[in-house]
Amino acid sequence: LEYSVLFWGPAFLERVVGLPTAAAATGVAGFFVGVLAGRIALRLLAERFSPHTILLAAFAVGAAGFVFYWAVGTPWAAIAGITLLGLCVGPQYPLTMALGMGVAKSANDIA
């Protein structure tokens, strides 16, 4: 998911949304802002909510981001959508690793 947004995002913003090339490349930086914000938020949310709840909420944010990115078609919505996709992706790796280790129980070295 991460690489497809990063590789395809600038071309989409340029060709479909209509941003100039430099603005399209800059707009994809919203993804990294979202990832950073997602990791920071994860630190705060992990103390209050279960990993399952946070992960499901991240997927819901990602679905909303994809709608903004793909369906609205205006520059502000596409960049907001990319940022929301970053918020979705940010906590996925740490949470899925934690959940995987939790499922492995005594075999977490193997996991």
Average pLDDT over residues 35-54: 93
- How many CB atoms are located within 10 Å of the residue 80 CB? 19
- Residue 67 CA to residue 73 CA, distance in Å, equals 10
Residue 90 burial (CB < 10 Å; 0-12/13-18/19+)? buried
Q: Is the pLDDT of residue 27 over 80?
A: yes
Q: Is the pLDDT of residue 86 over 90?
A: yes
Average pLDDT over residues 52-62: 93
Residue of 82, 103, 77 lying closest to 35 (CA atoms): 82
Q: How confident is the model at residue 103 (pLDDT cuts 50, 70, 90)?
A: confident
3-state secondary structure 63-107: HHHHHHHHHHCCHHHHHHHHHHHHHHHCCHHHHHHHHHHHHHHHH
pTM score, two decimals? 0.85
Give the per-residue pLDDT at 73: 78
